[in-house]
Chains A and B, each alone.
Chain A
Amino acid sequence: MKERIAILDGIRTPFIKADGVFKFLDADDLGAIVVKEILARTGLPAKKIDEVIFGNVAQPVHAANVSRVIALKAGLPFSVIAHTVNRNCASGMQSITAAANQILSGESQIIIAGGTESMSNIPLVFGSEMKDFFFALFKARSLKDRLGVLCSFRLRYLKPIIGVEKGLTDPICGMIMGLTAEVLSREFHITREEQDEFALLSHQRAVAAIKEGRLAEEIIPVPVPPDYKNVQAQDDGPRENQSREALQKLKPYFDRKTGTVTVGNSCPLSDGAAAMILTSESQAKALGLQPLGYLKAYAYAGLEGARMGLGPYFAINLLLKKTGLTMKDFELIEINEAFAAQIIANERAFNGQLDRRLFNVNGGAIALGHPVGTSGTRLVITLLKEMARRKKQLGLATLCVGGGQGAALVLETK
């Protein structure tokens, strides 16, 4: 990268378990809330923004190109262009690197990048037989034709495709994400107990971070529709009373017979959005603003989908080769916790160089949740804010990506 990208500031909504209190907020609503807030926090007038890029996986049917809908709902002028990116679980990082490229190529100067996901609102889908039935019904004109179509109906047509389930299944290897975690648990010999132990740690760290007010610094409270009786200020995933016993009780979810991955040692389905404002380091200086941090370098890597959990290992190695850095150089790390097994697999792959004391110090996705399009952005925000607190200079944010990719970003604070 020819110059660093300045991250002026970042903000996110609380992360809420799907089909919970955020179910009346669509992905574009969540995104609009964080875009409005990040503008207010940095004090930039809306007309100074050149572009909006959001990551989103589910692509809500009512809001095609959700970034554009977000930009306009947040009150940005019509002249601000917007597009939406999708790199599965790393969409929230893809938006950041895409924005970086726009800035470095001189196409745009100031960009709002982020991620949003409303897994609550991923629809159930009618299969093709039901769709054909409906279309035939619309086309039929005479009473005779209509009756003919109606008689062709079969009850099996009603069987829905569960959108979120399909979305989390890799069509190439045919595995839902949890099964890829099972693959890694076998490959790296990760026991059920080891996974539960890590899950508990994630909750404990998250609960402490909430109690000590650290997470509140990156969250904008959200008045909750439809009647706005409550204002949601906290992530609702972390459990104060999480315990090994409670985790032990759960049965393996993805492989009932011989599996070790449960809903307790996996991240939950969640709703949430996050946004940040990016510009070049020199532009930030010219604006007289003190950025939260800087993006220095990034890498994406590809691997087989069945072992997608090792994405961080592959992407980080690529990044280290690119930058000449070593694992020891990173003072703080945020790595997405899709599954405890996936985290431990990376720990073992790095042979001790991925230090549990240095990553996800304020809890991770297992406790906080993983709105798939958003997490990439959240990791960067959480990382930079904690680096500022600890006065650290060099950090790493990394994700595994469903479908077989990994993403890794080098962040700096000075």
Chain B
Amino acid sequence: MEKAFNLKVNAAGFAQLTFDLPNEKVNKFSEAVVLELKTIVADLKNRSDIKILCIVSSKENIFIAGADIAELDKITTAQEAAEKAAAGQDLFNQIENLPFPTVAVINGACLGGGLELALACTYRLVTDNEKTSLGCPEVNLGIVPGWGGTQRLPRLVGLLNALPLILSGKPVKAAKALRIRLADAIAAKEFVKEKTDAFLEDCLTESGRKKIFKARQMMPLRQRILESNPAGRAIIFFKARQDLIKKTKGHYPAPLKALELIKKTAGRSFKRGLKREARTFAELSPTAISKNLIQLYYTSEEIKKDPGTTAEVSPREIESSGVVGAGVMGGGIAWLFSYRDIAVRLKDVNWEAIGKGFAAASGIYQQLKKRCKIKTARINLKMHHLSGTLDYGGFQNLDIVVEAVVENIEVKKELFGQIEARVGAETIICSNTSSLSINEMAAGLKHPERFVGLHFFNPVNRMPLVEVIPGKKTSPQAIATVVALAKKLKKTPILVQDCPGFLVNRILMPYMAEAINLLQQGAGLARIDKLIMEFGLPLGPFLLADEVGLDICFHVMRVLAKSYAPRMKTSRLLEALYIEDKLLGKKAKKGFYLHSAKKNRPNPLIAARVKAYQQKNSIKPIVFSDQEIIERAIFIMVNEASRCLEEKIVAKPAYLDMALITGCGFPPFRGGLLRYADQVGISKIVNTLNNLADKHEAGFRPAKLLTDMAKARKTFY
């Protein structure tokens, strides 16, 4: 096998070890690489001619991206994991103990095992490359740093800087790395060679070394006070735990275990700390959650590379856009385009409506400003991408037009006629519809090949998913262009075939309907929500219904009930609440809950209605177990998802799972709906569904795909 490392030593004793993994775009630590490095380090120990060694990468914008994820995925026992951890720890200890100083020269991404290597070096030099980032993303894959990171990092930069890095997985850029002394010096990216040479010279002088170590001792006063005494440290750990529980709701063990690990080992024996770190890594690596998160990582990488079509077409660059309908979605889409520097021509029926679109976009920018993600001057430039028109003025030169008007097929069809009259034949036209048929809308167009469904999720600035729905006549070029555009907008595009509800809404509706069913049969409103949120969804079904709006829920339910009868039905209760009681949800402060600034409480009207319903239909309220509630709500989603796969609505289970995660917050730690189904067991699901179908509703009858899979002992993944 070709070598990954190349060692050069010059006459003055300056050594450079270059990491260049053959046939790969990034450097990563596979077992083979670790072995090769081990041999090199063993050799280096005996070199008396080396005064100082710098470790560099020849990959563009990458130092070392981390350990080989495929190998991580293969670990199934704690024993394997412990061995892997020990091997890396040992190697990095050897590097730390070399008889000469070492310098990691970081010009690009330095993550996970890469950072742990850099930490084992004596010094770290970063470049101001935009892509330079240093971090510990292990918790994102359900594990913790296992090669000394949890021991070296806190000792180097202090608890207050190390904890966010390790617990959140978020990396820091070069300037911050320098500030917290994770890096000792910074070089201009274009002059890294000159700066490295000068830095190496400096590190060999007494004064140079003194300066570096003095800088590392300088801690801001607050940090010094907190970290130097046990009470302060206790506060730090307590607060960190609180924040973690709030964010993860206890579903993700990795960051909690990392915190526990650091708490127990900070400031104590380094050797024992390493042992404990290896144990923690070994506990977490074989877990299902870790494997789930790794699978999601693979899927998201696959989606990033997926152009949306197999045809050899190159997507067109989108520089200017039109958005028709400046409502909540239109305003959000206008914000999204303007944020990525695409000009937006906003069209509506009067200037007041256009003004609302501007206000919506501006509101999102103000939110970003509050979170320090953007400065006022930049907001001014981005808002200037927006302009308004009442009569499609300025539409003639646009690359793409997205309509986001009211969900009425006649209105939309008329609109498309107007739009087509004003745009070029090549302009892509998209609909943000959530419930109407793309093919039906395309039928009225002169050039249906440039028409694509592009379904954003609410709120547009926070939901990563975009369903891309091609019509029968949509050209591959249009699909590729829209998929590329979605990626430019930093969204997750997933191709979905045209069917009512597309993918996410189609799967969510029966779940909502079932939740209402359970409510009507005696389960408590707040209890159902609580159980679903404990399962991992960010909002329970009733909170979600209020958030989305009972009017929209009812409307979508009606559309789906028509198309998927008899298994999907409209809910009489929902109909009554929306039409007779005029409950709208959060936007009117009254829905399934009464919404107030402080807390939500279940709307007492609901209980009254449920009771009336039970009396009218002579239903005795049933006492459900927690498991029953979860199974009924979630298994029905699995059932509908299976039908979606049967009908080839989406290409593969991994994409379906990613759509639900990015479109409605299905918990990533479960790996996705279908991954969860595999883990529960397909046979179990089929049996449960059949029981429910026999006892209650035909709608539970399992899809053919599921029964076939159960018979053949197949799984989704």
In the complex, chain B residues whose CB is within 8 Å of the CB of A75: 343, 384-385
In the complex, chain A residues whose CB is within 8 Å of the CB of B384: 29, 32, 36, 73-75
Instruction: Give CA–CA (A32, B396) in the complex, Å.
Output: 20
Report A24-54 CB contacts with B as 1/0, cut-off 8 Å: 0000010011001101110101000000000
A37 with B387: in contact, given A43-B396, A230-B355, A231-B352 (CB under 8 Å)?
yes
In the complex, chain A residues whose CB is within 8 Å of the CB of B394: 37, 39-41, 43
B362–A43 CB distance below 8 A:
no
A29 with B397: in contact, given A229-B359, A231-B354 (CB under 8 Å)?
no
CB distance from B79 to the nearest CB of A (A): 61
CB distance from B499 to the nearest CB of A (A): 38
In the complex, chain A residues whose CB is within 8 Å of the CB of B351: 221, 223, 231, 233
**A245 contacts the other chain (CB 8 A):** no
**B358 contacts the other chain (CB 8 A):** yes
Instruction: Give CA–CA (A224, B362) in the complex, Å.
Output: 11
Which of B355, B383, B389 is in CB contact (< 8 Å) with A231?
B355
A36 with B355: in contact, given A41-B394, A225-B362 (CB under 8 Å)?
no
In the complex, chain A residues whose CB is within 8 Å of the CB of B352: 231
Interface centre among B383, B384, B394, B397 (most CB of A within 10 A): B384
In the complex, chain A residues whose CB is within 8 Å of the CB of B356: 228
Instruction: Give CA–CA (A37, B386) in the complex, Å.
Output: 11
In the complex, chain A residues whose CB is within 8 Å of the CB of B362: 225-228
**B393 contacts the other chain (CB 8 A):** yes
In the complex, chain B residues whose CB is within 8 Å of the CB of A33: 387
In the complex, chain B residues whose CB is within 8 Å of the CB of A227: 359, 362
Instruction: Give CA–CA (A228, B362) in the complex, Å.
Output: 8
In the complex, chain B residues 388-410 whose Cβ is within 8 Å of any chain A Cβ? 388-389, 393-394, 396-397
Residue of A nearest to B389 (CB): A40
A41–B381 CB distance below 8 A:
no
CB distance from B347 to the nearest CB of A (A): 11
Which of A37, A40, A41, A223 is in CB contact (< 8 Å) with B355?
A223
In the complex, chain B residues whose CB is within 8 Å of the CB of A230: 355
Instruction: Give CA–CA (A226, B351) in the complex, Å.
Output: 17
**B590 contacts the other chain (CB 8 A):** no
A223–B388 CB distance below 8 A:
yes
**B291 contacts the other chain (CB 8 A):** no
B393–A41 CB distance below 8 A:
yes
Instruction: Give CA–CA (A45, B387) in the complex, Å.
Output: 16
A228–B387 CB distance below 8 A:
no
Interface centre among A36, A37, A73 (most CB of B within 10 A): A36
B355–A228 CB distance below 8 A:
yes
In the complex, chain A residues whose CB is within 8 Å of the CB of B385: 75
Instruction: Give CA–CA (A230, B355) in the complex, Å.
Output: 6
Instruction: Give CA–CA (A142, B362) in the complex, Å.
Output: 46
A229 with B397: in contact, given A29-B380, A32-B384, A74-B384 (CB under 8 Å)?
no
Report A275-319 CB contacts with B as 1/0, cut-off 8 Å: 000000000000000000000000000000000000000000000
CB distance from A23 to the nearest CB of B (A): 15
CB distance from A229 to the nearest CB of B (A): 6
Residue of B nearest to A224 (CB): B355
In the complex, chain A residues whose CB is within 8 Å of the CB of B173: none
**B345 contacts the other chain (CB 8 A):** yes
Report B473-504 CB contacts with A as 1/0, cut-off 8 Å: 00000000000000000000000000000000
Which of B345, B359, B393 is in CB contact (< 8 Å) with A228?
B359
B355–A225 CB distance below 8 A:
no
Residue of B nearest to A44 (CB): B397
CB distance from A65 to the nearest CB of B (A): 17
In the complex, chain B residues whose CB is within 8 Å of the CB of A45: 397
Interface centre among A221, A225, A228, A233 (most CB of B within 10 A): A228
In the complex, chain B residues whose CB is within 8 Å of the CB of A37: 387, 393-394
Instruction: Give CA–CA (A32, B382) in the complex, Å.
Output: 12
In the complex, chain B residues whose CB is within 8 Å of the CB of A224: 355
Report A221-263 CB contacts with B as 1/0, cut-off 8 Å: 1011111111101000000000000000000000000000000
B380–A223 CB distance below 8 A:
no
In the complex, chain A residues 310-347 whose Cβ is within 8 Å of any chain B Cβ? none
CB distance from B392 to the nearest CB of A (A): 10
A43 with B387: in contact, given A225-B362, A228-B358, A230-B355 (CB under 8 Å)?
no
B359–A40 CB distance below 8 A:
no
In the complex, chain B residues whose CB is within 8 Å of the CB of A231: 351-352, 354-355
In the complex, chain A residues whose CB is within 8 Å of the CB of B388: 221, 223
In the complex, chain A residues whose CB is within 8 Å of the CB of B383: 225
In the complex, chain A residues whose CB is within 8 Å of the CB of B396: 43
In the complex, chain B residues whose CB is within 8 Å of the CB of A223: 351, 354-355, 358-359, 388
Instruction: Give CA–CA (A240, B330) in the complex, Å.
Output: 37
Residue of A nearest to B346 (CB): A223
In the complex, chain B residues 317-345 whose Cβ is within 8 Å of any chain A Cβ? 343, 345
Instruction: Give CA–CA (A40, B343) in the complex, Å.
Output: 12
Residue of A nearest to B376 (CB): A226
In the complex, chain B residues 21-60 whose Cβ is within 8 Å of any chain A Cβ? none
Instruction: Give CA–CA (A227, B366) in the complex, Å.
Output: 10
Instruction: Give CA–CA (A29, B385) in the complex, Å.
Output: 11
In the complex, chain B residues whose CB is within 8 Å of the CB of A29: 380, 384
In the complex, chain A residues whose CB is within 8 Å of the CB of B354: 221, 223, 231
Instruction: Give CA–CA (A233, B388) in the complex, Å.
Output: 12
Instruction: Give CA–CA (A231, B326) in the complex, Å.
Output: 14
In the complex, chain B residues whose CB is within 8 Å of the CB of A39: 394
A73 with B381: in contact, given A37-B387, A221-B388, A227-B362 (CB under 8 Å)?
yes
CB distance from B109 to the nearest CB of A (A): 31
In the complex, chain A residues whose CB is within 8 Å of the CB of B380: 29
CB distance from B411 to the nearest CB of A (A): 23
In the complex, chain A residues whose CB is within 8 Å of the CB of B355: 223-224, 228-231
In the complex, chain A residues whose CB is within 8 Å of the CB of B358: 223, 228
CB distance from A24 to the nearest CB of B (A): 10
Residue of A nearest to B345 (CB): A40
Instruction: Give CA–CA (A45, B395) in the complex, Å.
Output: 11
In the complex, chain A residues whose CB is within 8 Å of the CB of B393: 37, 40-41
Instruction: Give CA–CA (A45, B383) in the complex, Å.
Output: 20
Instruction: Give CA–CA (A37, B380) in the complex, Å.
Output: 17
Instruction: Give CA–CA (A233, B350) in the complex, Å.
Output: 11
Instruction: Give CA–CA (A315, B394) in the complex, Å.
Output: 38
In the complex, chain B residues whose CB is within 8 Å of the CB of A225: 362, 383
Instruction: Give CA–CA (A197, B381) in the complex, Å.
Output: 45
CB distance from B189 to the nearest CB of A (A): 24
In the complex, chain A residues whose CB is within 8 Å of the CB of B345: 40
Residue of B nearest to A33 (CB): B387
Instruction: Give CA–CA (A45, B397) in the complex, Å.
Output: 7
Instruction: Give CA–CA (A316, B297) in the complex, Å.
Output: 75
In the complex, chain B residues whose CB is within 8 Å of the CB of A221: 351, 354, 388
Instruction: Give CA–CA (A231, B389) in the complex, Å.
Output: 12
Instruction: Give CA–CA (A225, B389) in the complex, Å.
Output: 18
Residue of A nearest to B341 (CB): A75
A40–B381 CB distance below 8 A:
no
CB distance from A209 to the nearest CB of B (A): 19
CB distance from B150 to the nearest CB of A (A): 46
CB distance from B388 to the nearest CB of A (A): 7
A43 with B397: in contact, given A73-B384, A231-B354 (CB under 8 Å)?
yes
Interface centre among A29, A45, A221 (most CB of B within 10 A): A221
Residues of chain B touching chain A, judged by Cβ–Cβ distance below 8 Å, are 343, 345, 351-352, 354-356, 358-359, 362, 380-381, 383-385, 387-389, 393-394, 396-397
Can you show 11 pairs from A to B with CB atoms below 8 A apart?
A: A32-B384, A40-B389, A41-B393, A43-B394, A75-B385, A223-B355, A223-B359, A224-B355, A227-B359, A229-B355, A229-B359
Given known contacts A223-B388, A228-B356, what 13 new A-B pairs fall within 8 Å (CB)? A32-B384, A36-B384, A37-B387, A40-B345, A40-B389, A43-B396, A43-B397, A73-B384, A221-B351, A221-B354, A221-B388, A227-B359, A231-B352
Residues of chain A touching chain B, judged by Cβ–Cβ distance below 8 Å, are 29, 32-33, 36-37, 39-41, 43, 45, 73-75, 221, 223-231, 233
A-B residue pairs, 3 tightest by C-beta: A40-B394, A231-B355, A228-B359
